[in-house]
């Protein structure tokens, strides 16, 4: 059910400020997507990087291994904008379908 949606969530989280995979995973979990695991998030991040939607930077951490931070670039912000546009469309159509003829 998350297909096509999770990537948008990751973009949105990154857009709120530089962050890294492990933290993104925990934020998604906190949001309610409790069974999203690290592997899933990292594959999305690899895809985002491959598609040139993000810039990355390795930084040391106090808590463990170095973190790979992500920020959206212009293409990433445009992708995010399109994502919310598609979501709004889908959402409105689904409500239309759900509410019709009750």
Partner DNA sequence: CCAACTACTTAGTGATACTATGTAGTGGTA
Partner DNA sequence: TACCACTACATAGTATCACTAAGTAGTTGG
Q: Are 79 and 9 in contact (CB under 8 A)?
A: no
Residue 3, token pair as written in the block: 């297909």
52 interacts with DNA by CB under 7 A? no
Mask for 57-86, x = binds DNA (CB under 7 A)? ---xxxxxxxxxx-----------------
Sign of dihedral through CA atoms 86, 88, 92, 98? positive
Least separation in angstroms between CB 12 and DNA: 12
Beta sheet of 54-59, edge-to-edge order:
19-20, 67-72, 54-59
39 interacts with its own copies by CB under 8 A? no
Least separation in angstroms between CB 102 and DNA: 23
Interface with DNA by CB under 7 A: which residues? 2-7, 20-23, 35-40, 42-47, 60-69
């Amino acid at each position: 059910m998350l297909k096509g949606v999770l990537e948008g969530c990751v973009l949105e989280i990154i857009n709120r400020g530089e962050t890294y995979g492990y933290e993104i995973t925990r934020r998604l979990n906190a949001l309610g997507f409790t069974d999203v695991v690290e592997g899933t998030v990292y594959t999305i991040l690899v895809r985002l990087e491959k598609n040139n939607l993000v810039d990355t930077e390795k930084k040391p951490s106090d808590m463990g291994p170095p973190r790979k931070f992500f920020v959206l670039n212009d293409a990433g912000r445009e992708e995010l904008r399109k994502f919310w546009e598609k979501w709004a469309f889908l959402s409105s159509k689904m409500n239309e379908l759900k509410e019709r003829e009750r």
